[in-house]
Structure 1
Amino acid sequence: MEGWSKNRIEIPDSVAMDILSKLPVKSLARFRCVAKPCCSYFQTSHFITKHYQNNLRNNNLNLLLKRCHGNTHDDIHYFSSLSTKKGENFLVKENIRLPFFEDCWYAPVVSGPCNGLLCLHDAGKVALWNPSTREFKTLPPSTVKRPPTVDSTRFGCLGFGFDSVIDDHKVVRFVTNYFDYNEEEGLLADWIHQVDLYSLKNDSWKEIPFPGVHPFASPLFNNYINGFYYWQATRNSEYLILSFDMINEKFSTLPLPNFGGSLAQYYLQLLDLNGLLGAIVYPREGTEKSFDLWVMNGSWSRQLSIESVPGVERPLGFWKNGELFLESSNRQVVLFDPSTQELKNLGIDAYQNTMQLVPYFESLVPINGSSEQEQHIIRQPM
């Protein structure tokens, strides 16, 4: 592409692209329409990486809120895009409905983000979504061979991450195959566990060895951290943390933090804490909650304690300056500032406890899918 000029002033390509890499995706999409030679450059891995790193460096976070009206199977789950502009108090900009998941109960669980991409899943349905470029990809059914005479197959915990060595996004999913009791043959109910692994680069699934550890918790926060995905898990009645290395495709285990209680008394949620594995611990009972934040850096250490926040149920996520989004006892989104102890009601209804807050950075990463319009995804501006 030749140098750019305006009023006879030449702008070198490198300078022009450096400027463009700092623009939001929406602006780049408009620019692409009037300067078509730029289209191919916007799709290069160099520009995509530079654009994403600029968003990381400037902490240009976006917010999606997954919520639902009511609490029955027929209710519609949807995402709300929240404004992150200063002074707008996280106003709802638009609501987004995904028809692909509307017949699912939790519709859907969100894993990620990873490089600006989200993995959406419920039961056997899995899709990747780039909310910035509005590209959506339904993953093909798994081709992993199931045991013969299996009566039912259920899909459990799922993880989503990135293999930086081969530039590939991967999905790892736990599967349980059930065999029902057969009175005539005298068989007892039984099950066999499998693990499916999907590669976006190959657009295919394969089987990897089951680790002998059973993950049990769907993530409330983003559990993908620097090439690893983490779950809470059990092994022979022992509670621990299971991790999966996206590059080597291997499982390993870590202990839980020694927080002085049991999981019968406390909730524990894993999260990304500035590039390290973190855990937030809070009591199951009561509406005046305390929150302890732990970080793993060779060993577990407690980083922060927040005492006696009234009228709240659970955390939803941290914001830029250490503020904590919480779900209130009356199912509203509130923002707590630990430095001032101020609790601010944002006026956003949660409706039920399947609500999930998803902070993400804009990204141009392609997923070889189709447009939201082709997928009949509905964006309704507020």
Structure 2
Amino acid sequence: MARGLPEMLVLDILSKLPVKSLTRFKCVCKLWSSSFQTPLFITQHHHNHLTNDHLNHLVKRCDGETLSDLCYFSQLSAEKGQDFSLKQNIHLPVFEIEYYTHDVKVHGPQNGILCLVCDVNICLWNPSTREFKILPQSSNQRLPSAARTRFAGLGFGYDSQTDDYKVVRFIANIFEYGCYGTSCYDHTTVQVELYSLKGNSWKEISDPMISEPDVGVCDTTLPDNYVNGFYYWHSYDDSILSFDMVNERFSTLPLPGFNLPVELLNYNGLLGAIVYPRQGTPKSFDLWVMNGFWTKQFSIESVPGVERPLGFWKNGELFLESSDNELVLFDPSTREFKNLGIHSYKETQMVAYVESLVPINGRSEHEEHVIRRTVEDKVG
């Protein structure tokens, strides 16, 4: 420990440093190295970075228009005021398999951890510590009489009571009744499975809320639908389905008749809903927040050349994707738009996270052959 300074004071100072610095400082002494792995230090470090609003942004991108084009993540930097730039590109070879390449979805973050999903492949990733964990395949049996199955939704959240990270996913079992003329008929039931990071295993959940036939949830492009212990989905019946990560139970909330498609998200610790038309131009965007009842926060009226929302920046500014596949930032306080000069390509998602030291009992990026290159370097 540094000479002349109390141990707790030194650790308090260190807890304000970025993960990259702490990784280097592990070799200073054994006490520092062991202290960085304690729950108290990990919690304090993450809290400090949350308090100081040290946001990091990753943009999921695909360069081309075909299924053979690979997806990757670009780290978005805004170290010089509001002048955004791309710092590095991150390629994840675990997903570079045939038709999986375009279909990677991001969920989270939860305390700095992201959940990446590509069909049956699910991974947890801490981009700060560069730890990577491929989840085991489920051993639960699908219904043998089903003609086919498919994954029909997923959520990623945190159980604060057990300090556990959980993944809940829906599996649709499709039964074909037969074809009459040119029409074919089928019937779908849903199974739900829950993964626990602490147990590193899946289990099936039986809940009357999801036992009805043809239950389903809408896919979302916004990554963070977890709010205060609950994960939320917009269901096919135009209500909101929620899952309690602690009690492992489903419930529903009414969704006001917006008469337009809805994207749910965590908005400053409350459940939010961005309402906008998927088709046509110019677009209008409304942000609603649930705090006992739904209230409208702001509207963006008749904006030409803008396609969809991607997420929020530090002071409530909204990232949008333009019809020219460019990233745009809207400031609701000034109602001004700023083109960031960054091409978003196809299947874009944006995720904001705060650095953390939370372990996920996985392997290093190096072991999983994850490739990080500066944007100026060509990635093969």
TM-score for the superposition, normalised by structure 1: 0.91
Query: In the aligned structure 2, how far is the partner of 1:86 from the partner of 1:221?
Result: 26
Change over 3 Å in CA distance of 1:208–1:219 after alignment to 2: farther
Q: Which moved more, 1:117-126 or 1:30-39?
A: 30-39
Identify which of 123, 129, 133 aligns with 2:125: 129
Corresponding position of 2:340: 346
Corresponding position of 2:239: 240
Contact 2:320–2:329 (CA under 8 A) maintained in structure 1: yes
Corresponding position of 2:107: 111
SS at match of 1:322: coil
Matches for 1:65-84 after TM superposition, within 5 Å:
65-84=59-78
Contact 2:175–2:188 (CA under 8 A) maintained in structure 1: yes
1:291 equivalent in alignment to 2:285: yes
How far does the alpha carbon of each residue in 1:34-61 deviate from its partner, in whole angstroms, 9 at most, with x for none?
A: 3333111101110000001111111110
Identify which of 7, 24, 27 aligns with 2:21: 27
Corresponding position of 1:193: 190
Q: Which moved more, 1:75-84 or 1:316-325?
A: 316-325
Matches for 1:59-70 after TM superposition, within 5 Å:
59-70=53-64
How far does the alpha carbon of each residue in 1:280-309 deviate from its partner, in whole angstroms, 9 at most, with x for none?
A: 111233332221111111111112122232
Matches for 1:94-105 after TM superposition, within 5 Å:
94-103=88-97, 104-105=100-101
How far does the alpha carbon of each residue in 1:312-358 deviate from its partner, in whole angstroms, 9 at most, with x for none?
A: 11111111122111101101111122233322111111122x10010
Q: Aligned-pair distance for 1:177?
A: 2.2
Q: Aligned-pair distance for 1:88?
A: 6.3
Corresponding position of 1:168: 164
Identify which of 296, 313, 316 aligns with 1:322: 316
Change over 3 Å in CA distance of 1:191–1:308 after alignment to 2: closer
Contact 2:35–2:41 (CA under 8 A) maintained in structure 1: yes
Change over 3 Å in CA distance of 1:293–1:188 after alignment to 2: closer
Corresponding position of 1:249: 248
Corresponding position of 1:18: 12
Give 5+ residue unaligned stretches, structure 1.
none
Q: Aligned-pair distance for 1:179?
A: 3.8
1:228 equivalent in alignment to 2:204: no
Contact 2:88–2:373 (CA under 8 A) maintained in structure 1: yes
Contact 1:257–1:294 (CA under 8 A) maintained in structure 2: no
Q: How many pairs are equivalent? A: 364
Contact 1:287–1:329 (CA under 8 A) maintained in structure 2: no
Q: Aligned-pair distance for 1:268?
A: 1.2
Change over 3 Å in CA distance of 1:36–1:84 after alignment to 2: farther
Contact 2:69–2:102 (CA under 8 A) maintained in structure 1: no
Corresponding position of 1:362: 355
Q: Aligned-pair distance for 1:65?
A: 0.2
SS at match of 2:25: helix
SS at match of 2:276: strand
Identify which of 306, 309, 324 aligns with 1:312: 306
SS at match of 1:29: helix
Query: In the aligned structure 2, how far is the partner of 1:105 from the partner of 1:97?
Result: 11
Give 5+ residue unaligned stretches, structure 2.
376-380
Corresponding position of 1:273: 267
Q: Which moved more, 1:219-228 or 1:62-71?
A: 219-228
Q: Aligned-pair distance for 1:310?
A: 2.5
> Match of 1:4, as an amino acid?
A
Query: In the aligned structure 2, how far is the partner of 1:191 from the partner of 1:313?
Result: 32
Corresponding position of 2:136: 140
1:331 equivalent in alignment to 2:330: no
Query: In the aligned structure 2, how far is the partner of 1:55 from the partner of 1:269?
Result: 27
Contact 2:62–2:102 (CA under 8 A) maintained in structure 1: no
Contact 2:132–2:365 (CA under 8 A) maintained in structure 1: yes
Q: Aligned-pair distance for 1:107?
A: 3.7
Corresponding position of 1:39: 33
> Match of 1:223, as an amino acid?
N
Query: In the aligned structure 2, how far is the partner of 1:275 from the partner of 1:88?
Result: 24
How far does the alpha carbon of each residue in 1:235-258 deviate from its partner, in whole angstroms, 9 at most, with x for none?
A: xxx311100000000000011134
